[in-house]
Structure 1
Amino acid sequence: MRTSLLSLLAGCLFAISASASAQDFKIGYVNSERLLRDSVPAKAALDKLQAEFSKREKDLNEMAARIKATSDKLDKESPTLSESDRGRRQRDLVEQDREFQRKRRELQEDFNQRKYEEQTALFERANKVIKQIFEKEKYDLIVQEAVFASPRIDITDKVIGALNAQPAGK
């Protein structure tokens, strides 16, 4: 009984796969990494983020330089300082470093949040373009993530071209 059931199941699977291979499927693949790296909207978003965060990053770099200079000065003057002055200056230095680390963390978190927002907006635009290509060219399946994909089905350049042709902010 079990053998005949397995034989029947295998026969059904074979019949399904044979009929599926008889049809022509149109499959496309989109490389998401390339969309984020090569498309004009992605490059514009990156430039926008860099401009948005450049002042804060510059301020942090200046703060780090001041802390380093203060630390070097403390190291140099340490032998001539009284114990209380040395302790006070070390505590001040530790406090400055804590403040620097906090600001650096905040900058990184803010940058990551904004980057996520920009990438989400880009992927929404890209998905609209992919859907238009899907419908216009009558694809049966378009995937964005795959372990392996043949260059023959890669439509990333087509998607990037359509994204680049759109006016900014659309």
Structure 2
Amino acid sequence: MKTKSYILILFCLSFIACTTTYALDKVGYINLQRLVNESNLGKAAKANIEKMRQEKQTEIDQKLEDIRKLKERVEKNGSLMGAKNKAEKVEELQQMYKTYQRMVTDAKEDLTKQDGKLVSTILERADGVLKEVAKREKYSIILKDPDAIGYLDKKVDITDMVIKAFNKKMK
């Protein structure tokens, strides 16, 4: 009977020892969107994408202005044009509008694609830095997915630490 009690006590103590060991593990969280937006590399890439967006917007605005001018001419001089000439201008106007719509769609797709490449590149480069920080600071787990977290204490957010290390490494 004493042996069974002794084994039961040892068994219970082993569970306590296991939970104590797990309690010493450090858990951290990184906000990947902040890393992309606030890192020097991310800011530079976002500036390049914004420049590209402005260039595309200028082209789109010019095309829209061309459409507006042709439409005004057709409306203004439509009664003076022959039926065939007017039909040609209306057809030209429709083609210009289709081209305009294609330009808008292509620009959106291009910018979305470039933004995706940017995020992917930054996250690939930052992964090594994240692992270095985790090892140096002795983190056992780093969470990346904000949807998987119900509550997050600011003490476990290591985003600032990773951004600083990432910026330093990317100089």
TM-score (structure 2 length as normaliser)? 0.77
- Residue 91 of structure 1, CA deviation: 1.0
Question: Contact between 2:41 and 2:170, CA under 8 Å: does it hold in 1?
Answer: no
Match for residue 10 of structure 1?
Answer: none
- Residue 88 of structure 1, CA deviation: 1.8
Structure 2: give runs of 5+ residues left out of the alignment.
1-13
Question: Contact between 2:36 and 2:119, CA under 8 Å: does it hold in 1?
Answer: yes
Match for residue 45 of structure 1?
Answer: 45
Match for residue 150 of structure 1?
Answer: 153
- Residue 81 of structure 1, CA deviation: 3.8
Q: String of CA shifts for 1:70-93, please: whole Å, max 9, x gaps.
A: 223323333444433332211110
Q: String of CA shifts for 1:102-135, please: whole Å, max 9, x gaps.
A: 2222222222222211111100112111100111
Instruction: Work out the CA distance in 1 between the residues paired with 2:46 and 2:73.
Output: 38
Aligned-partner residue type, residue 156 of structure 1? T
Instruction: Work out the CA distance in 1 between the residues paired with 2:157 and 2:28.
Output: 6
SS in 2 for 1:142: strand
SS in 2 for 1:138: coil
Aligned-partner residue type, residue 161 of structure 1? K
Match for residue 85 of structure 2?
Answer: 85
Instruction: Work out the CA distance in 2 between the residues paired with 1:16 and 1:83.
Output: 92
- Residue 45 of structure 1, CA deviation: 0.7
Question: How many equivalent residue pairs?
Answer: 154
SS in 1 for 2:25: coil
TM-score (structure 1 length as normaliser)? 0.78
Instruction: Work out the CA distance in 2 between the residues paired with 1:111 and 1:86.
Output: 37
SS in 2 for 1:28: strand
Instruction: Work out the CA distance in 2 between the residues paired with 1:85 and 1:161.
Output: 65
**Equivalences for residues 16-31 of structure 1 within 5 A:** 19-20=18-19, 23-31=23-31
Instruction: Work out the CA distance in 2 between the residues paired with 1:24 and 1:78.
Output: 82
Match for residue 131 of structure 1?
Answer: 131
Equivalent pairs: percent with the same residue? 23
Q: String of CA shifts for 1:19-75, please: whole Å, max 9, x gaps.
A: 436632201000112112211111111122233454343222211111122223323
Larger radius of gyration: 2
Aligned-partner residue type, residue 78 of structure 1? G
Instruction: Work out the CA distance in 2 between the residues paired with 1:101 and 1:165.
Output: 43
**Equivalences for residues 114-125 of structure 1 within 5 A:** 114-125=114-125
Match for residue 3 of structure 1?
Answer: none
Instruction: Work out the CA distance in 1 between the residues paired with 2:170 and 2:87.
Output: 60
Instruction: Work out the CA distance in 2 between the residues paired with 1:17 and 1:67.
Output: 77
**Equivalences for residues 37-76 of structure 1 within 5 A:** 37-52=37-52, 54-76=54-76
